[in-house]
């Protein structure tokens, strides 16, 4: 199981939100490159980079941060937040991201996202699914759809998507543990999917439970920044 640390960006700074609430913002470091280098020094290979300004504006904003980290580390970066157009995708991939991370557009404009998959290739996308009670949530988690998570995943596997991460929005940023049962159901139904857990990780024991549940990766943010999981511990792991 691959450990994928997260860096969330507002105004070019490394921050964390609680349950996606911009009013519950905490700045951890004003220089995201320093944070990324610490992850790299700990032996981690990937990075989940989120442009929260872009997510709020509906267009990519912090691509310069991406460009800097991609140019000065060897991390394999997925970048998301505000990717609404093909031009946004090209900016993100052109700035050094290995994967463009998308979520809402796959729900709200399936036709356009399908066009991107054909034009750019499904291997260039990391699909994110925010979930509340097994239903897809969009619009910064404010809006729950009637789309069942399993139907959503099946549809996009058929379109060639290989990697997907799922965040249970009721758990994210609360350090109360991940939704292991949900993830176990997903990996059981879709064993070939490179499935990545996200949200709620509070300690090393959660990582053991997620690996046991069949997750191929896990995105960790707040647990690292709040000292619940140390980089020294991650360095020792042989994932």
Q: Would you say domain 2-236 falls under CATH 3.40.50.300?
A: no
Q: Is the pLDDT of residue 72 over 90?
A: yes
pLDDT range class, residue 146, cuts 50, 70, 90: very high
Q: Which of 53, 130, 168, 206 is catalytic?
A: 130
Catalytic annotation present for 130: yes
**Residue reference for tokens 């944070």:** 35
Q: How far apart are CA 195 and CA 107, in angstroms?
A: 18
**pLDDT tens across 96-105, in order?**
999 999 999 9
pTM score, whole prediction: 0.94
Mean pLDDT across the chain: 94
Q: How far apart are CA 76 and CA 149, in angstroms?
A: 27
The domain locations on the chain are 2-236
Q: Which of 8, 78, 88, 206 is catalytic?
A: 8
Q: Which of 210, 100, 105, 114 is nearest to 155 (CA)?
A: 114
Q: Is the pLDDT of residue 239 over 50?
A: no
pLDDT range class, residue 156, cuts 50, 70, 90: very high
């Amino acid at each position: 199981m691959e450990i994928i640390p997260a860096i969330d960006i507002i105004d070019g700074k490394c921050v964390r939100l609680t349950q996606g609430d911009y009013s519950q913002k905490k700045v951890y470091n004003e220089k995201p490159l320093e944070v990324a280098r610490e992850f790299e020094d700990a032996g981690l290979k990937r990075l989940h980079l989120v442009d929260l300004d872009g997510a709020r504006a509906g267009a990519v904003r912090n691509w310069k941060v991406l460009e800097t980290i991609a140019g000065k580390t060897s991390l394999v970066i997925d970048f998301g937040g505000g990717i609404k157009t093909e031009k946004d995708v090209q900016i993100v991939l052109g700035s050094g991201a290995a994967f463009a991370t998308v979520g809402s557009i796959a729900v709200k404009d399936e036709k356009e996202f399908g066009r991107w998959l054909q034009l750019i290739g499904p291997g260039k996308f990391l699909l994110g699914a925010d979930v509340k009670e097994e239903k897809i949530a969009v619009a910064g988690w404010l809006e729950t759809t009637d789309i069942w998570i399993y139907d959503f995943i099946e549809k996009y596997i058929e379109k060639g998507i290989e990697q997907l991460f799922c965040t249970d929005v009721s758990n994210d940023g609360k350090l109360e543990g991940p939704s292991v049962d949900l993830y176990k159901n997903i990996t059981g139904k879709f064993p070939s999917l490179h499935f990545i857990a996200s949200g709620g990780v509070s300690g090393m024991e959660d990582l053991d439970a997620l690996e046991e549940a069949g997750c191929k990766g896990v995105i960790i943010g707040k647990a690292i920044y709040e000292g619940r999981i140390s980089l020294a511990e991650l360095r020792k792991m042989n994932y």
